[in-house]
Amino acid sequence: MKRAIKPEEAAEMIPEGSVLLVGGFMGVGSPHRLIDAIAARGVGGLTVVCNDTCRPGEGVGKLIDAGLVAKCVVSHIGLNPVAQKRMMDGEMEIELVPQGTLVERIRAAGVGLGGVLTHTGIGTTVEESKQVLEIEGRKYLLELPIRGDFALLAARQADYVGNLEYTLTAHNFNPIMAMGAETVIAEPHHIMPVGVISPDAVKTPGVLVDHILERAA
């Protein structure tokens, strides 16, 4: 059984320079209370791996606004002018990764693969500085795994074992990121007694989850 902790307790676990895998797609499925607590703590030098940089004042955008992010590994930054400016001013490194490749690189870390082969990016700037392999006459990029120090997830429901259930598109990156980090912290909307969540509804089993946040007051 796991003790539900406060967002501030979880934020205290995250040291300077950590690599954070953050669930969410434009903030949908992101752990907003945990992000707020990290921003308030002010520990920087972070590498944030997420689908996108969200918007200023929303989701991981709050960490960027606060100047806590040294690098983002994302599929796009098009809706966050703060991220764009920090990149152009040399204040933050941006690694753009095609969305499907991004999730596969995280999954590769979670299942112990040495990398993934993809045709996506061949002949573009994505190919730069990467190993190209030819298989049966077709070229592929070798994309290396992405592993995090922490995975920060949001879920609709959890139980005190740590089993997680997600809702609709809030499912997005969360289950894959739960596999790809040393420590997994989940922010559920509701915490249920063990046995209430149907086994068929569990998308992240509790064995992968290290900490759950207490419900919002």
Helices (H), 32-94: 32-41, 61-65, 81-88
Which of these, 19, 23, 60, lies nearest to 156 by C-alpha position? 23
Distances (CA, A) of 193 to 4, 160, 174, 206, 216: 13, 7, 22, 13, 17
Q: Mean pLDDT of all residues in the chain?
A: 96
Distances (CA, A) of 118 to 25, 94, 137: 23, 21, 14
- Rounded to an integer, what distance in angstroms lies between the CA atom of residue 97 and that of residue 72? 10
Predicted local distance difference test score (pLDDT) of residue 47: 98
Domains of the chain in start order, with CATH, are 17-96+147-213 (3.40.1080.10)
Q: What is the pLDDT of residues 87-100, one digit of tens each?
A: 999 999 999 999 99
Confirm if 153 and 185 have CB atoms less than 8 A apart.
yes
Dihedral of CA atoms 72, 74, 79, 84 in degrees, nearest 10, equals 40
- Rounded to an integer, what distance in angstroms lies between the CA atom of residue 126 and that of residue 130? 8
Region for residue 167 given its phi and psi (left: phi exceeds 0; alpha: psi -120 to 50; beta: otherwise)? beta
Predicted local distance difference test score (pLDDT) of residue 22: 98
pTM for the structure as a whole: 0.95
Dihedral of CA atoms 76, 82, 84, 86 in degrees, nearest 10, equals -120
Distances (CA, A) of 59 to 4, 190, 200: 22, 20, 29
Give every residue of the chain whose pLDDT is below 50, as ranges.
Answer: none
The token pair at 109 is 């870390």
Cβ-proximal residues to 198 (8 Å cutoff; 6+ apart), any chain = none
Cβ-proximal residues to 190 (8 Å cutoff; 6+ apart), any chain = 156, 157, 158, 215
Q: What is the pLDDT of residues 152-193, one digit of tens each?
A: 999 999 999 999 999 999 999 999 999 999 999 999 999 999
